[in-house]
Amino acid sequence: MERRITEEQVTKAILNWLEASGWEIVCFDFPQSGTGTSLHPKGENSKTKNIIIPDIVAYKASEDIGVFFENKNRFYYNDFLKIEKLRKTTDYKEALSKLFDEKLPRQMYYGIGLPDQKLFWEKAKQSLSRIDFLITVADSGFVKVSYTVNPKIFNGKN
C-alpha cells in the first residue's frame, strides 16, 4: 500500500527545494496553522468568502519572477479552478502586489504542488491548461517539475 504524503510534507519539500535553488520565500502556510497571509479581492473587506491563503509565494530577484503555489496531499479540482482565476483575472493583483512591496514581479506564475502519484498525475493532466506549473513531491522528498508552461521558471533544476 502506498504511503500518503501530507500537504505539510509537500509544502516543506517545495520550500526547501525553492530555497536551495535561490528563491526568496515571500510567505508560506501550513494546513490549519493560521500563519498564512490572506489575499482579498479588490474592493472586498476581510469578511469576504473569497479570501485566498497561498501555500507558498516565492521570488527570484535575478529573474524578477514570482511563483504562487497551492499545495495538496491529493488531486483537488477546485484548486485548479482557483489558480485559473488568479491567472486570468486582476481580482487579486492589488493584494499580491502588497506581498512584493507594492510592485509585482515582471513575470508571475501560478501552480500546484502535489504528491508524485500516478493517480493524481492522471487526473491533473486533464486540467493543465488552467495552471502554469505542476510540481510533484515523492515520498522521499524529491521534488520534480512535472509540468510547466515555461521551463525557465525553475531552470530545470531539481
Question: Cα separation of 111 and 90, whole Å?
Answer: 17
Number of CB atoms found within 10 A of residue 17's CB: 21
With b for 16 or more beta-carbon neighbours within 10 A and e for fewer, the 50-82 pattern comes to eebebbbbbbbeeeebbbbbbbbbebbeebbeb
- Predicted confidence (pLDDT) at residue 72 exceeds the cutoff of 90: yes
Task: State the chain's mean pLDDT as an integer.
Answer: 89
CATH fold for domain 7-42+50-148: Trna Endonuclease; Chain: A, domain 1 (3.40.1350)
76 touches 59 (CB < 8 A): no
Residue 59's beta-bridge partner residues? 24, 66
pLDDT computed for residue 30 by the predictor: 83
69 sits in the region (left: phi over 0; alpha: psi -120 to 50; else beta) called beta
Hey, where are the domains in the chain?
Answer: 7-42+50-148
pLDDT in tens, 126-156: 999 999 999 999 999 999 999 999 998 997 4
Task: Name the grid cell of 124.
Answer: 491533473
- The pTM of this model reads 0.90
pLDDT computed for residue 157 by the predictor: 42
Half-sphere exposure for 117 (CA within 13 Å, toward CB): 17
**Burial class of residue 144 (count of CB atoms within 10 Å of its CB; 0-12, 13-18, 19+):** middle
- Predicted confidence (pLDDT) at residue 54 exceeds the cutoff of 50: yes
